[in-house]
Structure 1
Amino acid sequence: MGQSRIDAMFERDRAAGGAGIVLEEVSGGRAVARMKVTEEMANAHGIGHGGYVFLLADTAFAYACNSYGPVALAQGAQVTFLAPAQLGDTLVAEAVERTLAGRQGVYDVTVRTEAGAVVAEFRGQSVLVAGVPHSS
């Protein structure tokens, strides 16, 4: 997928934009995204809500599996939270393709603080959707 398509896709991504996610890089089967954990993202315990950590990981996954051009959608995902995201942390999610077989792909995403502490591990399964063009 060309950079202009990635840029257009990200421009339409209201969920990522609303969370302040920045897409740092996308290449074949790989993507890196960043997000600062804000006060609005706090859960009842005063730490970053896991849903936002999942959103960041899912965003990196989405761009990694759409990096080739055909439309790819998630068909499943799981996350393991390993450490709390603290308010004020900047989190970096790196998605890496593990396998792509036919229409199906498996991607691993590690979410870390800028200091390198692992916050979560995410595994996403994608499926290429035949005949569905990218929106313009």
Structure 2
Amino acid sequence: MREHWPDFVSYVQERIKWMGAALNSSSSARLENGVLTVNYDESVDCKLLESKANLVRLTEFAMDFFQEELKVTFQVPNSSACSTDSDSAGAVRQERQKLAHDSLVLAAVDIFNGQVGDIRVGPRFRGPLHEEKVDE
């Protein structure tokens, strides 16, 4: 996780600058058993991230970047601030399910005699497992 954290922060910052800056101020992060835990020394640093809408967006970015189902949580030592009781992973799963049953998707599956594979809700994938070349 340690080697991918700066890349993930950059990935988020390209999409939402303030969110990337908030992640950059974390003291550490770990990814274990489908949970991305971001640690902060002060609760003020994660205050904006804990809102449900922001947490859902951050979870989308994390799932897209790390290519796995994740729940994002925050920890602040000796504080109950920045608790993340909402089911952000569930909200992303629900959005993916909705997209899988969209009439246009079902029509494309029927026309091409195919099946729905991975559904990504982020704007584009660029994670540690796949490098994307950009010509400038």
Is the shorter-chain TM-score for this pair beyond 0.5, marking a shared fold? no
Q: What interval of TM-score do these two structures reach, taking the shorter chain for normalisation?
A: 0.3 to 0.5
TM-score by length of 1: 0.40
Return the index of the structure with the highest Cα Rg: 2
Could you say which structure has the higher strand fraction?
Answer: 1
